[in-house]
Structure 1
Amino acid sequence: MKSKLFFLLLSLIFYNFCKAQTAPGFKELLDSAMVRDADLKGQLAKNKLTGLDQHKLKDIYLPTLEVSGMAGYLNATTRLISPELNLQPFLEIPEGKYNNNINVSGFSGLAKADAKMLLYSGGKVKYLSKALGEKKLSEDVLLEKTADEVAAVISRAYDQLALVHQSKKVLDEGKRRLDANRKTADKALGYGLITPYDHKKIELAQATLDAKVAEYEGKKELLLTQLEVLTGISKERLRLIDPVLAALALNTPGKTIEDRAEVRALNHGINASGYKIKAEQTWWIPKVQLMASTAYMGLYGARVKSSDNIIPAIPAINYPGRKLDWRPTNLNVFPVFMGGIGFKWEIFDGREGKHAIEKARIDQELLQNQKYDALRKLTLNQANNQSNYDIANAQIALKKKQKEVAGNALVQAEKEFRYGMTKSTQLIEAENDLEMAELDYQNAIFNQRRAAIEVMRSTQELDISKLY
């Protein structure tokens, strides 16, 4: 058993070591960013609240049981005024009124249990449940939009890192050529074929190139920090990434503007507002409820007494009368039970229901206006993105041609400089032209990829598998 545990631990350590030595792929970067993105986390939390609302609405038909109790001291006095007891002709009793105060005191106790259960809501719960379902679908769709935004951010940072890598390769190649030309310049200076000024020009070009290399190293470090913050992956692994820029080819769109997440979310919102209207229209339908209750009432250490005689004095027999003074051990009533079906019918609610219906209709109208405005803006956005994509493709062809021309010009300038037919100034200009043309070509590819991704996002067709 110990040997198996040791082998498992060793395997885990080896796996983590190998993973630490492996460059993360784009999918790993994206998955890590999705987990850490604050907007996605916030939307998922809102989805949980909507799910709780759905469960709460379903549970409205569950019975509720409420138990209550009370204990305290009771002291109550009742004043009773009535005609005097008249026992004539058997006894001689003076005529008058019976005027007495009856006092009840003692420690009281009360316990009660109430059970309620909704049987029929007039259809309101059904429509509200459908409205919440549409709201949940709307929130799920918006998650797609946020996920696409996260993918676009990570893709841009990844392509920027690739652009920096390609730029560094261009600069390294230029540095290699300048080093070779420096050796030629050293010989030419020794033979007196060039002036010291021309020789210094090449040294200045080398220093300028070193400064550009340092600048691109700073940009690379900034991009690595950005990716580390977005994904949580260490810089040590991120430094192992060696991405390459390549133009993206787009297929014919299979979707339309209507498939955009914003439009689909608004459609679900409009459907939800329609159900909300139907729910509010049920205000006048009676609601039916099942009810049952049981109670216990008790009085302990009680005393019931009267201020005057409850049996009047009878002078004829010399009877002085008698007051009430009763001390029962306890009095209790149990069970007090009630059960049945009740209903509530709002025949007139002060136009509150009508106002709620109008408000729900206005909310639906606002959503319809938002959808109309979104469709117009998204249509213009799609056209703009497609135009940018076409321009970016044309720029790639142009920059590629410029790079070929600059490369041929540098080859010619190097030959002429080697044979002393031209000065170092022309050579450096040709070197700078090629360097700029190669960097412009890489930037054109970067811009084309950005335009292609935006075209895919225009119809909610961003497919990560086509990017890397």
Structure 2
Amino acid sequence: MNIKHAIIKTLLFSFLAMVPTLTMAQDLDPVLKDLIHKGLEKNHQINANRLEGEQAKIDQQLAKSVFLPKVTFNGSFTRLNDDITFDDETQVLLKETQKLVIKEALGLPFNAPFPENIPLQDAPNLQDKNILKSSVDVDWVLFSGLEASNALKASKHKEASLNYVGMAEKDKLALQIIEAYDKLALVKASKQVLDNTENYLNEQAFYVNKAIENGLTTPISRKKIELAQQQLEAKKLEFEHNNILLIEVLHQLTGEARENLRMLQPQLASFVVASNANIEKRYEVKALEEAEKATLYKAKMEKSNFIPKVAMKGHYEFIEDDLSLLDPKWYVGVGVRWNIFDGNHARLKSKQTALEGQKYRDKIEEAEEMISLSIIKSELEYQSAQQNTLIVKKEIEIANETYELVNKQYKNNLTSITELLDALNDVEKANFKLQESYFNERRALANMLHAKGTLTY
């Protein structure tokens, strides 16, 4: 096999190796999907958002718990400095009254002397100085003036908003991982191009050395080959640096071990997507809409401060001995609290929250405008990237044919080694451009799917 046929065979193999397989837009590499899922589990912002969602669920439980009865057990011991009794005049009055009652019971006249053999009882203490109490209280809100129900609805919409924010963060992280993964694929593809170029240079170096031995060319041609080989080594070093950097980026995003990431061999592949793909509402817009609803219910909750509240209270004493003469053993009551005027505090707070809701409405409209613009922009970029891929493929075809022609001329002493190396450099550049074009095409498609809210992973 002569050098010409070897070069053509090598070029053909290189071209076929770099032609990507057409896949549907959502058929991501399983390795990439695994990296995305690991990144979603690791990301601190997503985890923090999840915890905020759990807090919103607890807020809902707190709102519901308003209508549950609150039961409190109480116990206390108190020692007064002395028993609480009636004053002397009242005690005398009570004893005299007691005498009258006894004489009436004995049938004695009103003015008759009181029998000395009948004892009189002292008036009981109003409160003994040693007081031991044990009781239970029940407080039960029967109607909160719609405050609790509005708080519950506000918490539900807040939770939904946080969930959508979390989904939007997941999309952003997925885009970062996909881009880093595709960049790694671009670097790996560039390494393949460099290896193919090295093979070309080795073939030419072999031919030049033979030509020098036969007096068909000068040593200057070999030096030019050596210079091209040194420049190639510099490009290889750049590849190594880019490879190390991308491994670190993926490690930081996903937490995957560097050893496993170094073993990855991703490949660029064109995606095919229908031009009439559906457009879904973005998570960012859904989050803002739910936040707007949450503020509206919060405003209603604050405004409901003026609606009467109804509650029931019950009390029961377990120990009767230490109760005062005026203390009941148990009681049950229903009360109404109606806030007539609170210095405009609730009204102003409600108005402030309503203005916050208007701010969310403005953000929603702004987000929808920006998303609409991003959809148009990404569609145009995707179309341009596809067209550029076709152009670059034609450039590769021309570069390969040119190299074949110049190589033939060089072997017949019709051109210089410089023109041959220039032709080889054009082949290398065209193959690099093709990989870059695939990369840009995938980036534009990923951005378009994200803009339309249809990115899945």
Does the pair score TM above 0.5? Answer: yes
Partners of 1:107 and 1:299 within 8 A in 2:
no
Whole-angstrom CA distance in 2 between matches of 1:147 and 1:83: 82
Deviation of 1:426 (Å): 1.0
Q: Which residue of 2 aligns with 1:423?
A: 416
Post-superposition offset of 1:78: 8.4
Equivalence for 1:260: 282
SS in 1 for 2:272: coil
Question: What is the Cα deviation at residue 383 of structure 1?
Answer: 2.3
Alignment partners' CA distance in 2, 1:209 and 1:348: 83
- 1:54 matches 2:77: no
Q: Distance in 2 between matches of 1:255 and 1:404?
A: 37
Q: Check the 8 A contact 1:385/1:451 in 2, yes or no.
A: yes
Report the alpha carbon displacement of residue 334 of structure 1 after superposing the two structures with TM. Answer: 8.2
Letter in 2 for 1:397: L
Query: For the residues of structure 2 that align with 1:84 and 1:165, how far apart are their CA atoms?
Result: 107
Match status 1:178 vs 2:201: yes
Which of 217, 227, 237 aligns to 2:240? It is 217
In structure 1, the partner of 2:397 is 404
What is the CA-CA distance between 1:90 and the residue it aligns to?
10
* 1:75 aligned counterpart, secondary structure: coil
Residue 360 of structure 2 is matched in structure 1 by: 367
Per-residue CA deviations over 1:20-75 (Å, capped at 9, x if unaligned) read xxx97222111111111112111111111111111111122111112233324311
Quote the residue 1:40 is aligned against: 46
- Whole-angstrom distance in 2 between the partners of 1:112 and 1:72: 14
Report the CA distance shift for 1:104/1:138 in structure 2 as closer, same or farther (over 3 A): closer
Residues 85 and 442 (structure 1), Cα distance of their counterparts in 2 relative to 1, 3 Å cut: closer
Post-superposition Cα deviations, 1:395-445, rounded to whole Å, max 9, x if no partner, equal 212222222221111111221222222221111111111111111111111
Structure 2 residue matching 1:289: 3-state secondary structure: strand
Tell me what 1:443 maps to. Answer: 436
Deviation at 1:238, TM superposition (A): 2.6
CA distance in 2, matches of 1:54, 1:164: 50
Determine helix, strand or coil for the equivalent of 1:71: strand
Q: Deviations over 1:205-230 (max 9, x none)?
A: 11211221222122222222322332
Structure in which a larger fraction of residues adopt helix:
2
Alignment of 1:57-72 (within 5 A): 57-72=63-78
| Matched residue SS, 1:339 | strand
In structure 2, give the amino acid aligned to 1:56.
Answer: L
Question: In percent, how many aligned pairs have the same letter?
Answer: 28
| Structure 2 residue corresponding to 1:25, chosen from 22, 28, 31 | 31
Change (3 A) 1:345 1:260: same
User: 1:151-300 residue pairs with structure 2 within 5 A?
Assistant: 151-256=174-279, 259-295=281-317
Which stretch has the larger CA shift, 376-385 or 205-214?
A: 376-385
User: Residue type matched to 1:206 in 2?
Assistant: Q
C-alpha distance in 2 between matches for 1:164 and 1:214: 12
Match 1:352 to one of 345, 352, 361 = 345
The alpha-carbon distance between structure 1 residues 230 and 74, as it changes in their structure 2 partners (threshold 3 A), is same
Q: Distance in 1 between matches of 2:420 and 2:305?
A: 87
Q: Contact 2:128–2:324 at 8 Å: present in 1 too? A: no
Q: Deviations over 1:114-134 (max 9, x none)?
A: 111111112222222122111
Shift of 1:454: 0.5
Distance 1:454 1:120 in 2: 51
- CA shift digits 1:78-102 (9 cap, x unpaired): 8959699799x999xxxxxxxxxx9
1:123 matched to 2:116? The reply is no
Paired AA for residue 329 in structure 2: V
* Aligned pairs (5 A) from 1:132-147: 132-147=155-170
What is the alpha-carbon distance in structure 2 between the residues aligned to residue 192 and residue 421 of structure 1? 16
1:461 aligns with 2:457: no
Are the counterparts in 2 of residues 111 and 297 from structure 1 also a CA contact under 8 Å? yes
1:25 alignment partner, SS class: helix
Whether the 8 Å CA contact 2:320–2:329 is kept in 1: the answer is: no
Q: Does residue 1:382 correspond to 2:369, yes or no? A: no
Conserved in 1, the CA contact under 8 Å of 2:164 and 2:286? yes
Q: Look up the equivalent residue of 1:188 and give its one-letter code.
A: A
SS in 1 for 2:329: strand
Contact 1:127–1:275, Cα closer than 8 Å, also in 2: yes
Q: Secondary structure at the match of 1:283?
A: helix
What's the secondary structure of 2:244's corresponding residue?
helix
Aligned-residue RMSD, C-alpha: 3.0
Q: Could you tell me how far 1:366 is from its partner in structure 2?
A: 1.0
Aligned-partner SS, 2:389? helix
2:271 partner SS: coil
Q: Do the aligned residues in 2 keep the contact of 1:161 with 1:220 (CA within 8 Å)? A: yes
The alpha-carbon deviation at position 353 of structure 1 amounts to 2.5
Corresponding letter in the other structure for 2:342: D
Unaligned runs of 5+ in 2: 1-28, 97-110, 114-124
Q: Identify unmatched segments of 5+ residues in structure 1.
A: 1-22, 92-101, 301-329
Match of 2:119 in 1: none
In the aligned structure 1, how far is the partner of 2:86 from the partner of 2:333?
A: 36
CA drift at 1:449 = 0.7
Structure ranking higher in strand proportion: 1
Residue 173 of structure 2 corresponds to residue 150 of structure 1: yes
1:357 Cα offset (Å): 2.2
Task: Name the count of aligned residue pairs.
Answer: 402
Cα distance in 2 for residues equivalent to 1:85 and 1:49: 67
The TM-score normalised by the length of structure 1 is 0.78
Equivalent position of 1:112 in the other structure = 135
